[in-house]
Chains A and B, each alone.
Chain A
Amino acid sequence: MAGAGSFRREMLEAQAPPAARTGRLRWLQENLFSSWQNALLTLLSLAAILWLVAHVWPWFAHSVWDAGSLTECRAIIRETWGEGASGACFAVIRERWQQFLFGFYPRELYWRPTLAFVLMFAALAPILFAELPRRLRWFAVAFPGIAYWLLWGGPASVPLAVYAGFAIAFLVHRAVAARASELVALILAAAAMILWWLHLAGPVARALPILPLQPVGSSRFGGFTLSLVIGVTGIAFSLPLGILLALGRRSQMFFVTTLCVGFIEFIRGVPLITLLLVASFLLNIFLPPGTNFDIILRVIIMVTLFASAYMAEVIRGGLAALPRGQYEAADALGLDYWKSTRLIIMPQALKISIPGIVNTFISLFKDTTLVAIIGLLDPIGLTTAIRADTNWNGIVWELYGFVALLFFLCCYGMSQYSQYLERKLRTGQR
């Protein structure tokens, strides 16, 4: 049947590639054994992982959760698994986990930090996820007051009086702005707010003790609660402060620029620990004689100032990366400085600087551990205290592993969220 009619009339089905070029085998060949150097590296890495697992797994498998001291732990491990067996003594975590979480907070009041922690997520959710209704953001505004009231106790009128200051500023601003210029209204509103806080808020709050909770002193704060209190407050305040500093640094006004540059470079030039030392030794010398305010508050102020200087540099990068045309377009629309900043410049600049902002948040949260050096009992301070206890003298991996895991979860979570946000906000233009 040779000749003109012997060609095929229909397409052949594509053949499957040879077995060595498909599926797992191909993946293995491409990713693990592409050359002899790679094969060697793969084998070495596998050997290292195996060695690690071979050492760590028995340690986990032989862990003891119920013992009163390290010697008791070791005795149990010896009895159960024979002489020379290694095992983890997680009993120390079991005994002290409440301290790790709450410090020396009164045991019967644990529900208060717990509730504040849960409410924190309720307050964060509308900020983190834009799909939720915007009205929920009012809860985020109210949250700092609620958290303060829950954590430190006392009458609810104290945070309410602080909020009243903002309400007064708003009312004054609205009343004045109708008659005089914007700037006058702003100055008067700020003056009214400061006067209220300095002279009236205290007496009013004392006169109306609504919903009093049992007060808890700062000295009883510790553990992860302390880290979160310092970290979250620092994060919440360093962003706005950083934005203001960045705007100040880029402003045309010579003196404002000089002040901002001086502040930013000073803070970035010294280690945080020196600032914390200032907070704990020197602040009393700088303030009027007789003032003595809370050590946690002092630490929060210093951590916030520290992070805001770094934040300012990150945001300045975002501002600089924004094309000049955006500034000019905003001016051409006739928007004034604050309107163009709020509506045109900042949304874009902040979007560009998300990775840097979140990195600053993460390092701020990690830096909260430095308070251990000035004697506060954050998780690291607690590990030192526990290791000094005769019962647990000599314990290393279990304690540090636990604390490292707590911090890792928080920081890794933040960095994952920032990647999610970057993906979501990517508008496709480059």
Chain B
Amino acid sequence: MTSIDTHQEPFRLGMLLNDTRYRSLTIQVFALAAFILATAWLVSNTVQNLSALGKDFSFTFLGSRAGYDISQTLVPYTNNSTHGRAALVGILNTILIAILGCALATVLGVLIGVLRLSGNWIVARIAAVYVEGFRNVPVLLWIIAIMAIITESAPAPSAFRGEEASASMLFGAFAVTNRGLYMPWPVLGPGWQLVVLTFLASLAAIVFLRRQARRRQEETGEILPIFWLGTGLFFVPVLLVDALLGGPITLDYPVLERFNFAGGGFVDKALLALWLALSLYTGSYIAEIVRAGILAVPRGQTEAASALGLRPRRVMSLVILPQALRVIVPPLISQYLNLTKNSSLAIAVGYMDVRATLGGITMNQTGRELECMLLLMGFYLLVSLGISSVMNWYNASVALKER
């Protein structure tokens, strides 16, 4: 009878190189040492260079006066505000363009992705041309080109004047000019909080109603007319409260004055160009993701659902979409992340995002390259970590629960 040899070989120095059990330890020690040495080398270089330039490492510049203007701000800001405030304005502007861009890109992408799968030959071809055209040209070119087109081709405000104006406002409310877009803007009168609260409450009620309806359907099989109830809840209470309070929220329309439009809301052309370009570009990627997601659901699923007697709309909402979304959402969220990162190209059209304030003017004015770049990268890292944790949460929540 043979027995397994459990005899331990005595440790020799050569085993650190030749024995796979110990070799990984050697490699890791070497890698760690190399990493520490490289970091130390970089840090010592940085310290030497900074002292040679007579700079220190501090973030006090964030408290000093910025002294430059920002055209589009979401929070009050003047050139007397601090650099920290300017960075905040930039961060908010980045978030604004990210949210606007993601919303429009999703709409465009879903639309084009579905159209590309259409049985209609010509529509599918047009969608394909859109996708290939936008995906294969750099986004920076789109941003700059759309900006140039707005600047050169859109009418000046003066073109809206007179009896024979060469340009006219859309629906009498929107004016696309070579300075940007003028549009109606809500004015909040006394009691507006109540209207907004009512709106939020009816949203909550709709969510609650849907849950109740689903539970009821699962228990009794009875289907409530949820769509009409929801639509009613969405509009009626808000309009009612608004009417009762005498219309505290009104729309302020832009009006042409001597040189320019006044009143209403104004979207700067830089924001407009950036928004359109990023959405069109990312939309072409999202279209492909949507198409792949829908194609990933086997045909048998549609047929099985129809065989169960479900109507086409229910087949889509109960069988296809839940399965397609599982494929679509993770790459979709990484496209949102890409859009947010691409919004750092805003500087090309002069939109003041965080890269243009903190990583641009502030950096040039104060000469604090190291600190500014650290803050800037930290901000983008935080955003991307946040978005990827949302993605992980989603992936975990839709993962197939196997029993």
Contact = CB atoms under 8 A, between A and B. Distances in A.
Interface in A224-274: 252-256, 259, 266, 268-274
B148 A412 contact: no
Most-contacted residue by chain B among A252, A254, A285 (CB, 10 A): A285
Interface string B120-151: 11110010000011011111110011001100
A177 to B, nearest CB: 13
Contacts of A394: 152
Pairs A-B, 6 closest by C-beta atoms: A411-B136, A31-B121, A269-B384, A271-B341, A366-B138, A400-B145
B23 A396 contact: no
Contacts of A411: 135-137
B137 A366 contact: yes
Interface stretch (B85-93, B259-267, B344-352): B344-352
B148 A400 contact: yes
Contact of B122 (A45, A369, A387, A408): A45
B344 A271 contact: yes
Most-contacted residue by chain A among B120, B133, B345, B380 (CB, 10 A): B120
Given A271-B355, A281-B369, A400-B144, A252 B122 contact: no
Interface stretch (A34-42, A91-99, A138-146): A34-42
Interface in A375-422: 380, 383-384, 387, 394, 396-397, 400, 403-404, 407-408, 411-412, 415
Contacts of A115: none
B133 A408 contact: yes
A293 interface: no
Contacts of A387: 148
A183 interface: yes
A45 B341 CA distance: 34
B118 to A, nearest CB: 8
Contact of A259 (B31, B120, B148): B31
B24 interface: yes
Contact of A380 (B42, B132, B144): B144
A183 B17 contact: yes
B17 A181 contact: yes
A32 B370 contact: no
A150 to B, nearest CB: 26
A274 B136 contact: no
A255 B347 CA distance: 39
B45 A41 contact: no
Contacts of A270: 341, 377, 380-381, 384
Contacts of A362: 135-136
Contacts of A383: 144
Contact of B28 (A254, A269, A271, A367): A254
B393 interface: no
Interface stretch (B46-54, B222-230, B307-315): B46-54
B119 interface: yes
A362 B132 CA distance: 12
A372 interface: yes
Contacts of A396: 145, 148-149, 152-153
Contacts of A41: 118, 120, 122-123
Given A270-B377, A394-B152, A370 B132 contact: no
A252 B144 CA distance: 47
B153 to A, nearest CB: 7
B18 interface: yes
Interface residues on B, range: 35 or more
B45 to A, nearest CB: 5
B141 A404 contact: yes
Interface of B is mostly: helix
A284 B52 CA distance: 12
25 contacts: A30-B119, A32-B121, A34-B119, A45-B120, A48-B126, A253-B27, A255-B31, A256-B27, A269-B380, A271-B355, A273-B347, A274-B359, A274-B376, A274-B377, A281-B363, A281-B373, A282-B370, A285-B46, A285-B50, A370-B140, A373-B347, A400-B141, A400-B144, A408-B137, A412-B132
Most-contacted residue by chain A among B28, B122, B347 (CB, 10 A): B122
Contacts of B18: 181, 183
Given A255-B32, A271-B344, A362-B136, A266 B141 contact: no
Contacts of A296: none
Given A181-B18, A411-B137, 5 more contacts: A253-B27, A268-B384, A366-B139, A400-B141, A408-B137
Interface string A3-40: 00000000000000000000000000011101000100
A46 interface: yes
A373 B347 CA distance: 8
A407 B136 contact: yes
Contacts of B46: 285-286
Given A282-B369, A387-B148, A183 B23 contact: yes
B385 interface: yes
Nearest to B26: A183
Nearest to A227: B138
B362 to A, nearest CB: 13
A253 B355 contact: no
A241 to B, nearest CB: 16
Given A32-B120, A273-B355, A380-B144, A285 B45 contact: yes
A269 B135 CA distance: 22
A269 B347 contact: no
Contacts of A428: none
A285 B370 contact: yes
Given A269-B380, A289-B48, A31 B120 contact: yes
B342 interface: yes
A282 B373 contact: yes
A184 interface: yes
A397 to B, nearest CB: 8
A253 B24 contact: yes
Contacts of A273: 344-345, 347, 355
Given A271-B344, A408-B136, A384 B119 contact: no
A246 B347 CA distance: 33
Interface in B44-65: 45-46, 48-50, 52
A426 B385 CA distance: 37
Nearest to A254: B28
A198 interface: no
Contacts of A278: 373
A369 B140 contact: yes
B359 A286 contact: no
Contacts of A380: 138, 140-141, 144
Given A271-B344, A289-B52, A408-B136, A403 B369 contact: no
